[in-house]
Amino acid sequence: MRITNRTYADLSVGDVSELRRLVTADDLYVFAAASGNYNPMHLTDSDLDGDGQVERIAPGMFVASLLSAVLGMRLPGPGTFYRRQVLDFHARAHAGDELICRVEVLEKLPGGVVRLATEVRRAEGGIVILTGEAEVEAPSVPFDREDVEMPGLIVQRHRHFEALLERARPLPALPTAVVCPDDARSLGGALLAARESLITPILVGRAAAIRAVAAEAGEDLAGIEVIDVPGADHEAAARACALVHEGRAAAVMKGHLHTDDLLRPMLDKATGLRMGRRFTHVFVMDVPGRGEPILVSDAAVNIAPDLAAKVDICQNAIDLALSLGMDPRVGVLSAVETVNAAIQSSIDAALLSKMADRGQITGGQVEGPLAMDNAVDLGAARTKGLKGNVAGRANILVVPGIDAGNMLAKQLAFISHAEGAGLVLGARVPVILNSRSDSPMSRLASCAVAAIHHFKGDAA
């Protein structure tokens, strides 16, 4: 990062500088931790004043602190010391608002002191949040460095999954065929979801092995149906399909078996769960620091999807996002953000974008090709001159193939400390696809997402 300053001698009346800042919910948590102000109005989605609207109000002094960023980083810049600040508050800022912080030199005073007008306004609509004046001691020595770095902060909480769990708990428990839960993780995850009233498990597989794992883990299976299928794993998966057709199961959950063995019986034209669309996998990722969940597709089922498969990947992900109450914004990823005839993923992305424009993909906005940076970062999108409502704001990432999707999801999980919920869509019922390394929160969130998707708007 390069930082420069303007010395007192270099400043002139009328000099102006602005800084844009997107206020996130995590900004408010960081400010609370630094200031000691834990007012729930700034931290939760509660309606504390009873007006029917959730608060998430940015503290006034947090908004005011953004002015110090302009003064200390832009105008005058490094070497600036505060002498006085007057603030008048006119409106409130909330998490999710993009703010424009502006300072203007009004007067140069003796002793290196400068008087400046200060203002913060909302980027959308131009509503003024605060105005005032600042007096600062301007720097006398020039500063120009490119090696200024700041350590990053991550607020490690999974508020999006917590919110999904809160939405799912009042729903009826989802009758779920759990296939081959004959290891501690898969059985424990199903029973945990049952205790949270998210699912009513029906355990399908080798009954003796399931009961042995339960006994070893100290779990009580009283009142839980266990269907003995002593044969191969795919036979247990076929029995789960039959339970769906019989109306006894409204979801299927992967236990201790290979994904291929779980899905193969579901693809059978006569006895499976096909509904016309391709089966596609979606990771719902709760990434610390992001304002909403990020959906990644396809990371587990379609290896090298062609254009027709990507249409289903987009549509299934959009449908899931809508059921979760999201505004679907699909960024179709490639290595570049312009169409390159030598990069097939960029061509597919452009076609998907146009197909959405023509109504062949519905329910959400689709844009591509986008590189990863300008899909999820507004600054990167602006640098590349990308406009629209998707670039920099994508909440659904459609990847070129399973390699990219799997790596992206695992990088988010193991480097960015995200939790991921996994579902297979396109079947008659949601298929909960857990990994052996999934945490209890991931397993619960997968069940919550399946329940919300099954009951659609009932969870809103």
pLDDT digits over 13-57, tens only? 999 999 999 998 888 888 988 899 888 888 766 666 667 666 679
Q: What is the mean pLDDT of residues 411-419?
A: 89
Looking at per-residue pLDDT, the higher value among 459 and 166 belongs to 166
Distance CA 312, CA 171 (A): 28
Clarify whether residues 338 and 200 are in a common domain: yes
* Residue 442 domain flag: yes
pLDDT surpasses 50 at 119: yes
Clarify whether residues 115 and 251 are in a common domain: no
Distance CA 281, CA 50 (A): 40
Q: What is the mean pLDDT of residues 321-344?
A: 95
* Residue 152 domain flag: no
| pTM: predicted TM-score of the whole model, two decimal places | 0.71
Q: Which segments of 319-445 are extended strands (E)?
A: 329-333, 365-370, 396-398, 419-425, 431-432
Clarify whether residues 123 and 211 are in a common domain: no
Clarify whether residues 56 and 183 are in a common domain: no
Segment among 80-89, 147-156, 196-205 with least mean pLDDT: 147-156
| pLDDT tens for each residue of 352-386 | 999 999 999 999 999 999 999 999 998 899 889 99
Instruction: Please list the residues that pair with 87 across neighbouring strands.
Output: 132
The pLDDT of residue 53 = 66
End-of-domain residue from the set 100, 122, 145: 145
pLDDT surpasses 70 at 350: yes
Share of the chain above pLDDT 90, in %: 77
Sequence-distant (≥ 6) Cβ neighbours of residue 429 within 8 angstroms: 244, 249, 250, 251, 252, 273, 454
Clarify whether residues 179 and 115 are in a common domain: no
| pLDDT tens for each residue of 263-288 | 999 999 999 999 888 999 999 999 98
Contact between residue 130 and residue 88 where contact means Cβ atoms under 8 Å apart:
yes
Clarify whether residues 128 and 172 are in a common domain: no
pLDDT surpasses 80 at 406: yes
Clarify whether residues 114 and 190 are in a common domain: no
The pLDDT of residue 439 = 83
End-of-domain residue from the set 114, 145, 176: 145
* Residue 339 domain flag: yes
* Residue 154 domain flag: no
CATH number of 95's domain: 3.10.129.10
First to last CA, the chain: 43
Annotate 308-342 with b (16+ C-beta within 10 A) or e (fewer): ebbbbbbbbbbbbbbbbebebbbbbbbeebeeeee
The pLDDT of residue 459 = 47
Clarify whether residues 126 and 272 are in a common domain: no
The pLDDT of residue 41 = 82
pLDDT surpasses 70 at 1: yes
Q: Which of 211, 215, 284 is nearest to 449 (CA)?
A: 284
Q: Count other Cβ atoms within 10 Å, centred on residue 433.
A: 23
The pLDDT of residue 86 = 97
Q: What is the mean pLDDT of residues 2-19?
A: 94
CATH number of 178's domain: 3.40.718.10
Q: What is the mean pLDDT of residues 195-217?
A: 95
Q: Which of 408, 176, 159, 189 is nearest to 281 (CA)?
A: 408
Contact between residue 190 and residue 255 where contact means Cβ atoms under 8 Å apart:
yes
The pLDDT of residue 209 = 95
Clarify whether residues 436 and 295 are in a common domain: yes
The pLDDT of residue 100 = 97
Clarify whether residues 106 and 170 are in a common domain: no
Provide the pairing of β-strand 294-297 with 280-286: antiparallel
Q: Which of 20, 21, 23 is nearest to 93 (CA)?
A: 23
pLDDT surpasses 60 at 460: no
The pLDDT of residue 407 = 95
Q: Which domain holds residue 289?
A: 159-459
| pLDDT tens for each residue of 45-97 | 666 666 766 667 999 999 999 999 999 999 999 999 999 999 999 999 998 89
Q: Give the model's confidence band at 103: pLDDT under 50 very low, under 70 low, under 90 confident, else very high.
A: very high
Phi, psi at 108, each rounded to 5°: -100, 120
Total domains in the fold of the chain: 2
pLDDT surpasses 90 at 348: yes
Clarify whether residues 283 and 412 are in a common domain: yes
Clarify whether residues 131 and 203 are in a common domain: no
Share of the chain above pLDDT 70, in %: 95
